[in-house]
Amino acid sequence: MKNIIKDNIDEILKSRYLSYAVSTIISRSLPDLRDGLKPVHRRIIYSMYLLKLYNNSPFKKSARIVGDVMGKFHPHGDQAIYQSLVRMAQDFSSRVTLIEGQGNFGNIDGDNAAAMRYTEARLEEITELFFDGIEEDSTTFSDNYDGQNLEPNVLPSKLPNILLNGSTGIAVGMATNIPPHNLIELNDCIIKLIKKPNIPDSELLKILKGPDLPTGGEIILTNAEKKKIYKKGFGSFLINSKWHDEKIKNGMYEIVISEIPFQVNKVKIIEQLANCINQKKLPLEDVRDESDENIRIVIKPKSRNIDKNKLVDLCFKLTDLSIKYSCNFNVLENGRIPKQLGLKPILSQFINFRKLTVKKKSKFNIDKNNKRLEILKGYLIVFINLDKIIKIIRTKEDPKKEIIKIFKLSEIQADAILNMRLGSLKKLDELNITKEIKELKETNSSLKKLINNDNFLSNFLIDETRSINNNLSDNIKLRRTKINNADDYELDIDIDEFTEIEKFTVLLSKDHLLKRVRDFSDNSQEKDNNILAAIDIMSNQKLLLFLSSGKVLTLDPNVLPGGKASAKSYIEFVDVGVNEKLIGLFNPYTQDKLLLVSKFGKGFISIAENMITNQKKGKNIFRLKNGDELLKVHFVNKDHLALVSKNEKLLIFDIGSLPTLNKGSGVQLMKIKSNDSLSDCAITDMNEGLSWSKGSKIKNLKDIEFWIGKRAQVGKKIPKGFNKNLKFNI
């Protein structure tokens, strides 16, 4: 290597990356405020203009157009160019399509356009407004990438395309997201701004209702958010689908979605609805796509009693039938400087651009008319001195030189006279020339006013804008998107509102298998010695599941197997660790308080409903230390707690002495020695006494006064006849 660069790598990277960032911002990602186009879109439209693909000319293959763009102006991938062309032809992507496509140009389902060798295209009629005076010096040109062709730096557009069709792009360190708007509203704002440049934003926002999206729908845009978006250049709003209900037989109804949010794939919405049905998140029986050229998504509810408005709100909440659209009005000023601008600065700069364009075009036409006037004045001399000029032409070797000398003509005039046809020498042409001179002088006078008189130029632009409005088709004129300015709009809806509440019983077997059944009773066939617990619960309630680690998890009983299905282990429904064992299962709505007792004699009372959690891993309620484990959980439905230790000690005390905590380490319930632990515990009443099982019999001790003590005591020797397992009968 001969050229070795010695520099700091940090500085080299900074300069190179900065160059790349600027190139991305200017030459690729951000639109020009003046014509609202990125370079690739501008090059496509200009290339089609050069190919004379006007709206009244035959279509040409898209491949031909893409080839021209790539070869002359845009040396990038053909697919990137073609996709940009396709987007400008899709009526669901652009509010006003700039290209008219013939063939398969994709659809709102997300299907791609056909290959470019099959499709054809030409410019839309309205796109001709982008070339106002392009051949009359109304815009500047620069060399293309190889210096063999010239391309416009900006198209001299009469349309505020930056807001009309909007734009989306991600650059380096910045992005743009401008929604489409209604052209009539934009032009009315322009007229108002030309008449009154210092007009407040609030006056413009009375004219501009908000975005007008190609796919229609309904925009939820509060007045405060609207002001923020159009004054500061950023903000967000909701886009809701449009819907109506249709009555069907047996008093049922169906919801029909006729318009969906902008830039949302219809197939994706249907998939989301179907998934919600499968997961029982929506009370729907079916969803059908009956769309043709118009969107028609049919949603059938499970019951005719379901409130249709609440049902639609829930669909909006769970699917892309409603989306949030974030605005970011980042544009290029003069094609060079990226800025975030509001409505008024954007339209003001567009008006200034139009004024500059009209002035440039006027100067060009004045010069053109002056050249024509010079030639016409030379023609008049011909008519006055016709015989002399003919004689000079016939007799002189250099008639041009003689004519210039004798009649004091310019070279342009002399050339024009010598190039005249004999047939144009008739008398009638003299009258026409005089008339044309007069017309050209009047035209020049008007053109000079456009250059020198700002009021005259302003009135000209107002008339031009009104003329554009009058010539628009209804498809462009009429607003597609409804604007809802509700300040209190909120999708505060839940699936539980639609669920039919059922009563059933959850059965817990000794093997810790779970199942739900209906119409359960003690005499039911389901009742047998294998059942550890039978918990009555409603379908809209939750179960609390306690683990030996001191953790509590929330379980939805609706997910448990029912009917003739086999019972399943609890570990299939909750997140359980390897060393965690099931301690108990409770309906927290049955009793208010639960008592938690650990193996080492710690415990406390906690409010049952406060333990319910949405966390999959549950809550750590009991903070256990030094290998301690949760032993038992009881509803606090009696007034005394009986504790028995493995060292055959029994203690009974009043539960009222225990604290109520949301979570914690608890207090000492019974004094436990280092080699001891609790064997069991039970809730009891003084008049009930104490019961325990011995073999197949149940023993009951009515007089328990001897074992009554205070919390944290050691306790006394268990009564005679207590079982060897040291377990109560519960």
Active site residues: 118
Contact 412, 371 (CB under 8 A): yes
Q: Answer yes or no: are the C-beta atoms of 194 and 344 closer than 8 Å.
A: no
730 vs 597: CA distance, rounded Å:
15
Q: Which residues pair with 570 in a beta bridge?
A: none
Count CB-CB contacts under 10 A for residue 113. 21
Dihedral sign computed on CA atoms, order 274, 278, 281, 282:
positive
Q: What is the C-alpha to C-alpha distance for residues 352 and 332, in angstroms, rounded to an integer?
A: 15
The dihedral region occupied by 253, where left means phi > 0, alpha psi between -120 and 50, and beta the remainder, is beta
DSSP state of 722: -
- For residues 213 and 219, the answer to whether their CB atoms sit within 8 Å is yes
In angstroms, the Cα distances linking 368 to 133, 304, 433, 436 are 13, 75, 16, 14
Residue 537 CB burial class (10 angstroms; 0-12, 13-18, ≥19): buried
Would you state the torsion angle of the CA atoms of residues 582, 584, 587, 592, taken in this order, to the nearest 10 degrees?
A: -130
Cβ partners under 8 Å of residue 67, min gap 6:
78
Assigned token pair, 501 = 């509440």
Candidates 536, 665, 564; CA nearest to 606 is: 665
Question: Is 174 exposed, middle or buried, given 0-12, 13-18 or 19+ CB atoms closer than 10 A?
Answer: middle
What single DSSP character describes residue 422? G
Helices and strands: H and E segment counts in the chain: 17, 35
- Kindly report the number of other CB atoms within 10 A of residue 172's CB atom: 15
CA distance 609 to 214: 49
By the 8 A CB rule, do 205 and 358 touch?
no
* C-alpha torsion sign, points 76, 79, 81, 84: negative
Q: Comparing C-alpha atoms, which of 116, 117, 98, 114 is closest to residue 106?
A: 114
Whole-number Å distance between alpha carbons of 556 and 542: 5
Q: If 0-12 CB within 10 Å is exposed, 13-18 middle and 19+ buried, where does residue 214 land?
A: buried
Q: What is the DSSP string of 643-709?
A: EEETTSEEEEEEGGGS-B-SSB--EESS---TT--EEEEEEE-TTT-EEEEETTEEEEE---GGGB-
Q: Is the dihedral of CA 555, 557, 558, 560 positive or negative?
A: positive
Q: How far is CA 364 from CA 135, 357, 368, in A?
A: 10, 11, 6
